[in-house]
Amino acid sequence: MTPELTNRECNRATLDRQLLLRRADLDVLAAVEHLIGLQAQAPFPPYTGLWTRLTDFRPADLANRLLDRSVVRIALMRGTVHLVSAADCLTLRPLHQSMLERVVRTAHRTHLDGIEFADVAEYARTLVDEKPRSTTELATLLLARWPGRDRQALLNVARSGLPLVQLPPRAIWGRSGQATVTTAQTWLDRPLHSTSTLDALVLRYLAAFGPASVADAQKWSGLTRLGEIFDRLRPDLITFRAETGAELFDLPDAPRPGPDIDAPVRFLPDFDNILLSHADPSRIMPAEHRAKLFTVNGIIRAALLVDGRTSGQWQITREAKTAVLTIHPFGRLSTNDKRQVEKEGANLLAFAEDKAEAQAIRILPVAD
């Protein structure tokens, strides 16, 4: 009989692999590769995502990796921008090529009649090979070549056809910069290569997000028809039954701590992958919290974890010279939980707003 894993057991296993049960003593590159990247469609959430997972993390630890080109920002899983290692950029991008094109065709089907994706990609390549281009400039030049078309659709066709990386100073802590792109091959001075396989990708996914179902892996990656990959790997995996009845796969030697292991308070940034990487995210995010964290315009709000589950949202604002961390709990916090939230919140402010003259934490009352 297939053993059952409770939702709480899945919660603790995934938190462990996501480096959220305890901060890990890893350097940035090792952490980014273990996590198979961090979603990074906004420039700065990955800094908080690494701070909440690593010991002694400082913004320069990631900024320097972007500057020395050992990590890059590129569209990968689900067609969204991720911060990944240079090595993963070069090996994972080919695995997602067909998915990226499918996403664009679906999103812009009414704007792309008669457009050859290969023609747009080749023309875009000549433009960014000439010099790095801002996405605004690239879209304008593509529109001049295909007048009357939708500029965003043309830009997304180029992004799906080419491995476009976003260059510094974009996403460098404390600096600002528009999205400027060139190809990964040019930026990294190395070709894309297909040494990785979908089999290897699935195994890495389980190591970072498991135990998980086929549907979970497809949700995380945006890829389809992964069932045949899991079936091929089945002899080397173990299986469980989720509370919902879904079949869960896992690596035999992966950590699965017991349900009684304590989970510390953690502040997740906007767009954190742990909320986006399971078809059934209830191990971390109860269904009733989704509407509070996922907005209609595609923003995934920064989340507070208490006992390993989403328990509120948070944001940092400036009021005159004071940095204010405002927390919106989804339910009443116990005295001990509130104390832990305030303690970790103070650590977050010390990290994110170290130059503020004053810092304050505001926990709002729970709405009746």
Q: Tell me, rounded to whole angstroms, the distance of Cα 178 from its chain centroid.
A: 20
For residue 123, the SS3 value is helix
Nearest 5°: CA angle at 362, between 360 and 363? 150
Q: Tell me, rounded to whole angstroms, the distance of Cα 352 from its chain centroid.
A: 19
Nearest 5°: CA angle at 361, between 359 and 365? 160
Q: What is the pLDDT of residues 217-265, one digit of tens each?
A: 999 999 999 999 999 999 999 999 999 999 999 999 999 998 999 999 9
CA distance 190 to 209: 29
Burial of 228 (0-12, 13-18, 19+ CB in 10 A): exposed
Residue length, the chain? 368
Structure confidence at residue 279 (pLDDT): 97
Q: What is the pLDDT of residues 10-62, one digit of tens each?
A: 999 999 999 999 999 999 999 999 999 999 999 999 999 999 999 999 999 99
pLDDT at 1 over 80: no
What DSSP state is assigned to residue 24? B
Tokens matching residue 147? 């007048």
- Bridge partner list, 328: 313
Structure confidence at residue 176 (pLDDT): 86
Q: What is the DSSP string of 210-238?
A: -SB-HHHHHHHH-----HHHHHHHGGGSE
- Residue 260 burial (CB count, 10 A): 7
Q: Sheet containing 180-183: which strands, arranged edge to edge?
A: 38-39, 81-85, 71-75, 164-166, 180-183, 133-134
Q: Tell me the percentage of the chain whose pLDDT exceeds 70.
A: 99
Which amino acid is located at 135 in the chain? T
pLDDT at 335 over 80: yes
Structure confidence at residue 339 (pLDDT): 98
CA distance 346 to 325: 9
Tokens matching residue 279? 């078809």
pTM of the model: 0.96
CA distance 368 to 358: 31
Mean pLDDT of the chain: 96
Nearest 5°: CA angle at 93, between 88 and 98? 155
HSE, CB side, 13 Å, CA atoms: give it for residue 276: 26
Q: What is the pLDDT of residues 94-130, one digit of tens each?
A: 999 999 999 999 988 888 888 899 999 999 999 999 9
